[in-house]
Structure 1
Amino acid sequence: MVNTIKLTFILLTLFVAACTMSSGSSMMTLFDGASMDNWNESGNTVWTFSNGYVDGAGEGGFLVSENTYDDFRMVAEFWVDAPANSGIFIRCPDSENIGAETCYEVNIYDQRPDPTYRTGSIVNFAPPAAQINAAGQWNRYEILAQGSRLQIILNGIETVDINDDSFDSGYIALQYGTGVVRFREVLLEEL
């Protein structure tokens, strides 16, 4: 009887470990903070690498994914100073025409003059349910785009959960607008 319980416990432990490993392994690294692999530059931003992250400087611009994505779960880490204006644009149909009118913009802008679409929002679509200041620390966005559902989680707090079918597929773009903007580890799982 004791051996049966031990065997059951061992098998259950192995099963849970296998499930955990398989779910973690489905995330692919889009950006590792060390190279521009998987990305193209757009605009006039100067991107430099330092200490495992990329810094944007100069005039506005984007790092645009080489591939397009439909349904996905994405994790991205970023650091900004208080006046920074940045964002993560998703489902952008045209890699040469990226903006809040042509894509979903998951905003990073604590001091936006109109706070309706500040950090944690999807500009023009959904204000954040919670006001979270991102300046001066590493932050983690979790973005789910599945069918018409868009869910945004910032530092473990859900800020947006809406249904909208304006854009169903496209590029992902990391924006530098103003201030100090840094990105490191960007992971994506296609659904």
Structure 2
Amino acid sequence: MRNRWGALAAGLVMTGAVLNWIGTASADDGWVTLVDGDKKVEFTEVGKANWAAKDGTLMADKLDGKGPSYLVTKTSYKDFQIKAEFWVDDAANSGIFIRCDQSDKIDSNICYEVNIFDKRPDPKYGTGAIVDVSKVDPMPKAGGKWNTYEITAKGTRLTVILNGEKTADVDDSKHAAGPIALQYGSGVVKFKKVQIKPL
């Protein structure tokens, strides 16, 4: 176990389908920890990047393939709240995908994508937006600092709060339930903690 943690901390590129993090998933008042520096959760990786546990975060800064990489939960969720702490640089393309219709193919057509993408060509669906569902104007910036996302999905209502400011509040029925996925597309992406509370 020590050797494995050391390899992760050194930035080992993980090529297996399932990524196991040290520790145990925990529940506190209904909150389940998915990502933490010393917790364990299993993700299925779709696409490949150099995801590693480093300095108390789950991070990636390089793709190992052509398309983005996604860490996909093995559990499906319907109604829930998510709390996430993350850091990205200005060049980052990331996001939190929810209620995905499939677990082996992830994109904004089959999931709701809560975006983290300051340099998106169309900023109306950049950081703070739900891609192709709920626009932001003006787009908030996440690059170069620690941020918090609070995402709630209950029935057809979806709300997103970035750093205490509501950026999305919409009714949409395209996707009813499914796994959660964390994206790495470019730049530097770090997730410090991600928790989910089924409702």
Taking structure 1 as the reference length, the TM-score comes to 0.84
**Closer, same or farther: CA 61–34 of 1 in aligned 2, 3 Å:** farther
Taking structure 2 as the reference length, the TM-score comes to 0.81
Report what 1:68 is aligned to. 76
Report what 1:170 is aligned to. 178
| Superposed displacement of residue 46, structure 1 | 1.4
* Aligned-residue identity in percent: 46
Report what 1:43 is aligned to. 47
Report what 1:29 is aligned to. 33
- Structure having the larger proportion of residues in strand: 1
Of 55, 58, 61, the match for 1:57: 61
| Superposed displacement of residue 56, structure 1 | 1.3
Q: Deviations over 1:103-129 (max 9, x none)?
A: 000000011111110100000111125
Q: Please, what is the CA RMSD of the aligned residues? A: 1.3
C-alpha contact (below 8 Å) 1:31/1:38 kept by paired residues:
no
Report what 1:154 is aligned to. 162
AA of the residue aligned to 2:142: A
Partners in 2 of 1:146 and 1:129 — Cα distance? 24
Q: Secondary structure at the match of 2:62?
A: strand
Q: Deviations over 1:131-189 (max 9, x none)?
A: 31100111000000000000000000000000000000001000000000111111111
C-alpha contact (below 8 Å) 2:127/2:140 kept by paired residues:
yes
C-alpha contact (below 8 Å) 2:75/2:179 kept by paired residues:
yes
Q: Secondary structure at the match of 1:46?
A: coil
Poorly superposed stretches of 4+, deviation over 6 Å = none
Q: Secondary structure at the match of 1:69?
A: coil
Report which of the two structures shows the higher radius of gyration computed on alpha carbons: 1
Give the count of matched residue pairs. Answer: 168
